[in-house]
Amino acid sequence: MLNMADADAESHFVQDIDAALQGNTWRWTGKRPTIRLHANTNQKLLYSIDFVIAGSTFEQTGPVSLSYFVNDHLLDRVSYAAPGRLRFQKPVPAEWLQPDENVTLAAEIDKVWTPPQQGGAHLGFILVSLGLEQVGLEKLGLQKPGLELKSSERK
């Protein structure tokens, strides 16, 4: 799991995640925030994201849909009719990953907030964490040996 406050978080960013850490825990995204992680396994993994649909952006966009991707495979698309703090988790098909290789994870919002002034940043949502969790181990308090965060080259 990559928390936006992790010291090496930026080394995992591929696109659309703001470099500025806000409130010591989160970052603004653009349309399709994408990260790259290293997974030692492809078995029993959950795509997991903690995020916020901000009330201030929701006033302009109204209801939004987020599409969740693993290595460019569409995992799911979910509509949200209200702002707030949210979590999405879903099992990842093992055939979408290769053990001991990098994996890209993304979440794409269908409508971004557009600033009133020309040239301002378009905002998607607030990202707290994004990554893969191995099913069952967190309940036992065990370390997750199948998941490693390794710095890797950006595209």
- The pTM (predicted TM-score) of the whole model is 0.86
Query: Tell me: the pLDDT tens digits for 118-146?
Result: 877 899 999 999 999 998 754 333 334 44
> Which residue ranges make up each domain of the chain?
2-137
Architecture field, domain 2-137: Sandwich (2.60)
Among 40, 36, 47, which Cα is nearest to 87's? 47
pLDDT for res 137: 54
SS (H, E, C) the chain: CEECCCCCHHHHEEEEECCCCECCCEEEEEEEEEEEEEECCCCCEEEEEEEEECHHHHHHHCCEEEEEEECCEEEEEEEECCCEEEEEEEECCHHHCCCCEEEEEEEEECCCECCCCCCCCCECCEEEEEEEEECCHHHHCCCCCCEECCCCCCC
